[in-house]
Amino acid sequence: MKRHLDGHKDLTTSVDVNHSIDPNDVWVPIASGPSDMTVCVEIGSEVKIGTKLAERNNHFYLPVFSPVSGTVTEEKKMLAGDGRLHNHLHIVNNHKNESAQAFQPLDYTKASREELLDFVKNAGVLGLGGAGFPTYVKYTKVDGIEMLVINAVECEPFLTADYKAMEENMDDLKLGVLALGKLSKAAKVVLAIKENKKAMIAKLKETFAGTNVEIKAVPDVYPMGYERTLAYQLTKKNYDRLPSEIGLIINNANTAIALGKALVTGMPITHKYVTVSGDAVKNPQTMYAPVGTTSGELLKVAGGVKDGIEDVLLINGGPMMGRVVPNDQWTISQSTNGVTVMKHVKVDAVNCLRCGACVDHCPMGLEPVRIADEHKVVDYAHLVKLRAMDCIECGLCTYVCPSKIDVTEKMRRAKTFVGAKMKAAQTAKGGK
Ligand code: SF4
Ligand code: SF4
């Protein structure tokens, strides 16, 4: 079952995007996935906005570019939004905003599909909906792809980063969606957005009139923006690992905007729309911030925490699927969408009532209460049978639990346990 949640989006929907973010220094993440990247600049060198800083050279090639002009001073492990330490490049901003065109713009209508694919790869376009996966990989093999879905649902409470980005970049969005449509070779292109976004739906219909892009309003329920939920909503089909199994490619609207911008300007992703909101933030707003800005810097711009609130939860992302990070020094990456700051109200959980609400609401059809049972989280076979690894960590089971049990956290622990066991089994078999 999916559920309507109070989105609290009114806190930032009508507030202008703050384009004034210009921190004195940035820490640009140069790790992507498990592997570190090869640094392309010397420590001490001067860089401009758009200078290539690092690249990952394995089969998921990905370059990273400088978001500011200034001096590269060091490579260091810093806290990232996943709560872990990763390699970052420190750049002291000279505030001159000098830029260097990173690559040649491209007319996608004249380019061959292969040229366009190469462009997407070398421009470092990646999934901006949270996954951070290099976009070109999804389009390398498109046999059997029937539908390209542009996901503009943004179902996480408080976040309006996609909405504000679309509002400000309608032309880039159109260009990016049409270019992705060409890459996908799909007969159908659908842009999905929540049905309650009436003004935006009208604007999108006007923008895409005369194209093959259908604007599809989907129900305002959570987690409609999650890929599996959206895929099912549009096709009534489920998939096992990847949407391509049912003929779909799904990309976030912000990814299409980034591609549209790159095609026109020859510039990569250097800045990110990030919503800084939550019930503890003084002046909630969406900001257009250089990648590598710390979350604390953004929170400061938003006026900090409201007076009288002492204990807060600082979340990378939204309150449902986001990750609580221990302090505000973590860095904004290309895929960060929100910094959510919530009052931390300590609630004492009571015993499970066996009410079944978590089971009724789980969008993956799991039995969270059985998986989360303290006695079962160390029972590998039991957890595999109950499909613990299918949990998408959407947070609904915690949200609906009348006993105030953090069921999702228990699910995470169960997944970590199963994941470690699986890895150990693979290693024992001689795999990596
Ligand atoms: S967090 Fe996992 S177990 Fe809980 S409702 Fe979401 S998918 Fe189901
Ligand atoms: S919702 Fe909470 S109380 Fe109800 S069965 Fe699930 S864990 Fe137990």
Any ligand 2 atom below 6 A from CB of 259: no
Pocket test for ligand 1, best of 229, 386, 397, 415 (most atoms within 8 A of CB): 397
Amino acid at 128: L
Dist. CA 219 → ligand 2 center (Å)? 26
Closest ligand relative to 411 C-alpha: 1
Confidence bin at 372 (pLDDT 50/70/90): confident
Closest ligand relative to 371 C-alpha: 1
Task: Spell out the SS3 assignment of the chain.
Answer: CCECCCCCCHHHHCCCCECCCCCCEEEEECEECCEECEECCCCCCEECECCEEEEECCCCCEEEECCCCEEEEEEEEEEECCCCEEEEEEEEECCCCCECCCCCCCCCCCCCHHHHHHHHHHCCCECCCCCCCEHHHHCCCCCCCCEEEEECCCCCCCCCHHHHHHHHCHHHHHHHHHHHHHHHCCCEEEEEEECCCHHHHHHHHHHCCCCCEEEEEECCCECCCCHHHHHHHHHCCCCCCCHHHHCEEEEEHHHHHHHHHHHHHCCCCCEEEEEEECCCECCCEEEEEECCCEHHHHHHHCCCECCCCCCEEEEECCCCCCEECCCCCCECCCCCCEEEEEECCCCCCCCCCCCCHHHHHCCCCCCHHHHHCCCCCCCHHHHHHCCHHHCCCCCHHHHHCCCCCCHHHHHHHHHHHHHHHHHHHHHHCCCC
- Tell whether the model's pLDDT for residue 162 goes beyond 50: yes
Dist. CA 325 → ligand 1 center (Å)? 20
pLDDT of 306: 97
pLDDT of 345: 84
Kindly report the protein residue whose alpha carbon is nearest to atom 6 of ligand 1. Answer: 394
Any ligand 2 atom below 6 A from CB of 241: no
Distance (Å, whole) CA 19 – CA 156: 23
Any ligand 1 atom below 6 A from CB of 325: no
Give the mean model confidence (pLDDT) for residues 31-35: 63
pLDDT of 376: 65
Query: Lowest-confidence range among 25-29, 146-150, 349-353?
Result: 349-353
- Tell whether the model's pLDDT for residue 1 goes beyond 90: no
- Tell whether the model's pLDDT for residue 378 goes beyond 80: no
Kindly report the protein residue whose alpha carbon is nearest to atom 2 of ligand 1. Answer: 391
Decide: 413 and 377 in contact? Cβ < 8 Å. Answer: yes
pLDDT of 346: 83
Give the mean model confidence (pLDDT) for residues 162-175: 98
Confidence bin at 67 (pLDDT 50/70/90): very high
Pocket test for ligand 2, best of 3, 371, 403, 409 (most atoms within 8 A of CB): 403
Confidence bin at 293 (pLDDT 50/70/90): very high
- Tell whether the model's pLDDT for residue 216 goes beyond 90: yes
Closest ligand relative to 403 C-alpha: 2
Q: What is the pTM of this model?
A: 0.91
Give the mean model confidence (pLDDT) for residues 289-299: 97
- Mean confidence (pLDDT) of the chain: 93
Confidence bin at 422 (pLDDT 50/70/90): confident
Closest ligand 1 atom to the C-alpha of 223?
Answer: 6
Kindly report the protein residue whose alpha carbon is nearest to atom 4 of ligand 2. Answer: 355
Dist. CA 396 → ligand 1 center (Å)? 6
- Tell whether the model's pLDDT for residue 338 goes beyond 60: yes
Dist. CA 414 → ligand 1 center (Å)? 12
pLDDT of 5: 77
Any ligand 1 atom below 6 A from CB of 362: yes
Amino acid at 37: M
Kindly report the protein residue whose alpha carbon is nearest to atom 7 of ligand 2. Answer: 369
pLDDT of 35: 65
Query: Lowest-confidence range among 209-213, 317-321, 425-429?
Result: 425-429
- Tell whether the model's pLDDT for residue 172 goes beyond 90: yes
Amino acid at 65: F
251-288 pLDDT per residue, tens? 999 999 999 999 999 999 999 999 999 999 999 999 99
Any ligand 1 atom below 6 A from CB of 364: yes
Closest ligand 1 atom to the C-alpha of 371?
Answer: 3
- Tell whether the model's pLDDT for residue 432 goes beyond 50: no
Any ligand 1 atom below 6 A from CB of 161: no
Percentage of residues of the chain with pLDDT beyond 70? 96
Confidence bin at 186 (pLDDT 50/70/90): very high
298-329 pLDDT per residue, tens? 999 999 999 999 899 999 999 999 989 989 99
Give the mean model confidence (pLDDT) for residues 50-73: 94
Any ligand 2 atom below 6 A from CB of 403: yes
Any ligand 1 atom below 6 A from CB of 314: no
Give the mean model confidence (pLDDT) for residues 356-381: 85
pLDDT of 269: 96
Query: Lowest-confidence range among 19-28, 232-241, 310-319, 423-432?
Result: 423-432
107-133 pLDDT per residue, tens? 999 999 999 999 999 999 998 876 678
